[in-house]
Amino acid sequence: MSTPMLPSRPSAVPTPACATARRWKPAPSIYGAAAVHAGAAAALLAQPHAWPWAAGGVVASHLALTAAGLWPRSALLGPNWTRLPEHAGECIALTIDDGPDPEVTPRVLDLLDRYDARATFFCIGDLARRHPQWIEAIVARGHAVENHSQRHRHTFSLTGPRAMKREIEAAQRTLTEIAGTAPRFFRAPAGLRNPFLEPVLCDLGLHLASWTRRGFDTRAKDAGTVERRLLDGLAPRDILLVHDGHAARDARGEPLVLDVLPALLRAAAEARLPWTTLRACLDDQP
């Protein structure tokens, strides 16, 4: 294992923790749910004995919104980056979640350096606070740090708008302070969310990002399976997801992601698909 390079600490320039707020435009599903509620209320007033139908409609609309939130790649609750925008051309994006991890992140950074690849790290605020030097290293070595919540609670999608905002804002403050640049993207823990998330992200000027394909490298037993999931059908504008935190281990106890990454980076080089970061593909980037 090579010795990871530790960068010097970036100068302490105060940086605003949030980008400019986006205007919230409710998704058609939200209008639909609102229409069902209004219709149910009107039906109750006109024909009180029809209450089971009205209640059934309301429950069904809630179930539909819940199902949309449990589907990480769905855009039913609002905009969601599942691929890079068209102007990204041939580029692809590697996103790396759940770090920083003091054992795995430095080795991931060395591999990325070896292939001159840029990646987007979705980091957990609490871990960033514990291992700030690896957030600094990610930025110093040309990668992007984005928001993956402060505590990565799996109950995130069950919380209301205020708790959700607290959690995202705390990570936004932590990561901005350490990285010196405010995150522009948010990825929900396990990709699960609810209809309250999009207005909160708009308020904080963040964009929701999921992925095109993921390797399930926190649960897989061998690197080959993860490689196939990520590489079969690899195409321009794909967003790939692997993990430097919570990494599954192979029979030798080695994190799978460290076996997977060289194959992935080689395959992209052979297919002439350059790596980019999500933020480099935002419209407001120069």
What residues are labeled active site?
A: 97, 243
37, 52, 61, 224 from 43: Cα distances, Å: 10, 11, 16, 57
- Can you give 56-70 as a three-state secondary structure string? HHHHHHHHHHHHHHC
243 sits in which H/E element = strand 239-243
**Listed residue (170, 171, 99) closest to 137, CA to CA:** 99
Scanning 90-98, 110-118, 250-258, 275-283 for contacts with Zn ion by CB under 5 A, the matching segment is: 90-98
Question: Least distance (Å) from Zn ion to the CB of residue 97?
Answer: 4
Residue 33 or 127: the one with the smaller Cβ distance to Zn ion is 127
- Note whether 97 binds Zn ion by CB under 5 A: yes
Scanning 36-44, 89-97, 170-178, 222-230 for contacts with Zn ion by CB under 5 A, the matching segment is: 89-97
**Listed residue (202, 187, 198, 194) closest to 240, CA to CA:** 187
CB 99 within 8 A of CB 124: yes
Residue 33 or 241: the one with the smaller Cβ distance to Zn ion is 241
- Note whether 146 binds Zn ion by CB under 5 A: no
Half-sphere exposure of 223 (CA within 13 A, CB side): 16
Question: Least distance (Å) from Zn ion to the CB of residue 146?
Answer: 12
**Which two structure tokens, joined as six digits, stand for 92?**
């692809």
41, 44, 122, 187, 231 from 241: Cα distances, Å: 44, 47, 10, 11, 11
**Which two structure tokens, joined as six digits, stand for 135?**
């957030």
- Note whether 98 binds Zn ion by CB under 5 A: yes
DSSP secondary structure letter of residue 238: B
Residue 107 or 214: the one with the smaller Cβ distance to Zn ion is 214
- Note whether 217 binds Zn ion by CB under 5 A: no
- Residues comprising the chain, all counted: 286
Scanning 19-27, 54-62, 66-74, 93-101 for contacts with Zn ion by CB under 5 A, the matching segment is: 93-101
Residue 154 or 266: the one with the smaller Cβ distance to Zn ion is 154
- Note whether 177 binds Zn ion by CB under 5 A: no
**Listed residue (211, 230, 253, 226) closest to 103, CA to CA:** 253
Question: Least distance (Å) from Zn ion to the CB of residue 176?
Answer: 19
Residue 192 or 267: the one with the smaller Cβ distance to Zn ion is 192
Scanning 27-35, 50-58, 80-88, 97-105 for contacts with Zn ion by CB under 5 A, the matching segment is: 97-105
CB 211 within 8 A of CB 239: yes
Scanning 8-16, 64-72, 91-99, 125-133 for contacts with Zn ion by CB under 5 A, the matching segment is: 91-99
Question: Least distance (Å) from Zn ion to the CB of residue 122?
Answer: 7
- Tell me, by CB under 5 A, how many residues bind Zn ion: 2
Question: Least distance (Å) from Zn ion to the CB of residue 130?
Answer: 16
CA distance linking residue 41 with residue 4, whole number of Å: 62
Residue 125 or 180: the one with the smaller Cβ distance to Zn ion is 125
Residues that bind Zn ion (CB under 5 A): 97-98
